[in-house]
Structure formats: C-alpha cells, structure tokens
Amino acid sequence: MLRSIPDSIFNLYKPVSRWESFYLRTRWRLCPFELIESSLPSRGRILDFGCGYGMLSNLLAERSPERTVVGIDLNPKRLGVALRSVAERKNIHFHLGDVEGLHPSPFAAAVMTDVLHHIRDDQVEILLRKVYRCLDQDGLLAILDVDRTPFWKFCVTFTIDSLLNPTDRLWYRPLRRIQEMLKSTGLKTEKVIPADHGLPLADVLLLCRKNRDPDPRGDIGKT
Ligand SMILES: C[S@@+](CC[C@H](N)C(=O)[O-])C[C@H]1O[C@@H](n2cnc3c(N)ncnc32)[C@H](O)[C@@H]1O
C-alpha cells in the first residue's frame, strides 16, 4: 500500500512541472500498477488503451525488454507528457487517438486502467469489440475499474477521481454490468481481484481472456 513511484519511472519524465510531479506521484500511490504489471504477459505486444501519462506503459516496458508497449490516449496534454518519457527506447510507443484509432493487430494483451468509467455505454461496447479484434487468439484483457460497492469506498473513489479529473464526465457501473458487457463481446472473465491495495477505494482488477471461438456478435456494432 501507498508505495511511492520508483525513481527509474519518475526520472523518465524529468523535467516535470509541479502539477505533473503531483499527478504522477499521487496516481502511482492510488493505482496498483505493479499488481497489474505482474498479471500481464512478460513478452509480446501490449496495448495500454487510455494510457494517460503512460506510467503503466513505462513500467511494462521497463520490467521486460521482451515486451513492446503501445499506449494510446485522446488527451493531447497527457499524451505529450507520455511522449516526452520515451527518449531513445525502442520497446515503447505512444499515439494520440481514441477508439477510432484502434485497428485489428495482434496484441498478446491489452490493458485499461481507470478508463471504462470515462466512456459512455454505447462507446464502451464499440471499444470492447475493437479491443477484442486486436487481441491474439488467447489474448488477455486486464481492466482496472471502480465497483459501486462497498458504497462508502465508492464515494471515496468518486471524490478522488473528480478532484484529479475535474473536467471529465464519469460513468460508473456495477461490476456485474461490466462483466455482462465483456461477456457479450466474447471475453471471458477469468479472475476478479480486489485492487484497493489497502486504501479505501472500490477498485477491482478484471482479467479476461479472449474466447477461442470467433466474436459471437460477428460484425454487429462494427465501426
Ligand atoms: C483516469 S485517466 C487514467 C490514465 C491511465 N490509464 C492511468 O491509469 O494513469 C483516464 C484516461 O482515459 C483517457 N480516455 C478517455 N476516453 C478515451 C477514449 N475514448 N480514447 C482514448 N483515451 C481515452 C483519458 O484521456 C485519460 O487519460
């Protein structure tokens, strides 16, 4: 709990403004990036959709040179900070874009940390289908998101989220609803891990596997 950001990751971002420094340090303490990293394959291409400042992307790339990490985010300011962190490294790439920018390409895994509740229902379904098509046949999707229970933890999480993302509209869903959306996309939830890492947060980590059968909904909703 409350682990501070390792120097090896923080230093990638230097020089940083005060706000960037505050955000990077606070975000690291709130989000169980190390738990997520250890749940993902140690080799192959990994998509970090909604990567923000790219801290998880950087951790993934740093922990294993056999990974190639692709981070995508639609926020130019955040993506700009992420791009600055790349320097000469070859196993990490960041792109400005959104769901439209996702094209079928083989990824061993995809990850979305605190992204789903920034996206409205109809867009989430489109996003999940696109991510599904980007995954290898046995590909893994890791989702960190906020459950609605316990209610007091949800309230704490909501307050922190609103302070860190004051201009964003947020769509929180019960865990059950997220699992339904995953299932209808053809993604099987293999594990649900409480991810509050000792903090009063309602975060859960879902590890989902692409079914071996083809996308059950075929081209419905294809964009
Ligand atoms: C709470 S931040 C999380 C950032 C990062 N995943 C992390 O864990 O630090 C949510 C991010 O999702 C991005 N996002 C929201 N909707 C998106 C979309 N449609 N396409 C790409 N990125 C999106 C936002 O710009 C923001 O950077």
* Structural domains in the chain, sorted by start: 7-210 (3.40.50.150)
Specify the pLDDT at position 212.
Answer: 61
Between the CA of 162 and the centroid of ligand 1 the distance, in Å, is: 14
Residues constituting the chain? 223
Answer whether 59 contacts ligand 1 (Cβ < 6 A).
no
> Does the structure show a pLDDT above 70 at 73?
yes
Between the CA of 57 and the centroid of ligand 1 the distance, in Å, is: 13
Specify the pLDDT at position 29.
Answer: 93
- Distance between CA 7 and CA 167 in Å, rounded? 30
* pTM across the whole model: 0.92
Specify the pLDDT at position 222.
Answer: 36
Q: What are phi and psi of 187, to 5 degrees?
A: -105, 125
Answer whether 74 contacts ligand 1 (Cβ < 6 A).
yes
Specify the pLDDT at position 218.
Answer: 45
Specify the pLDDT at position 213.
Answer: 59
pLDDT tens readout for residues 6-35: 999 999 999 999 999 999 999 999 999 999
Determine the residue of 115, 145, 167, 197 to mutate for testing ligand 1's pocket, defined as the one with the most ligand atoms within 8 A of the Cβ atom.
115
Q: In percent, how much of the chain has pLDDT > 70?
A: 94
Name the band, by pLDDT with cuts 50, 70 and 90, for residue 177: very high
Name the band, by pLDDT with cuts 50, 70 and 90, for residue 188: very high
> Does the structure show a pLDDT above 80 at 211?
no
> Does the structure show a pLDDT above 80 at 223?
no
> Does the structure show a pLDDT above 50 at 220?
no
Answer whether 134 contacts ligand 1 (Cβ < 6 A).
no
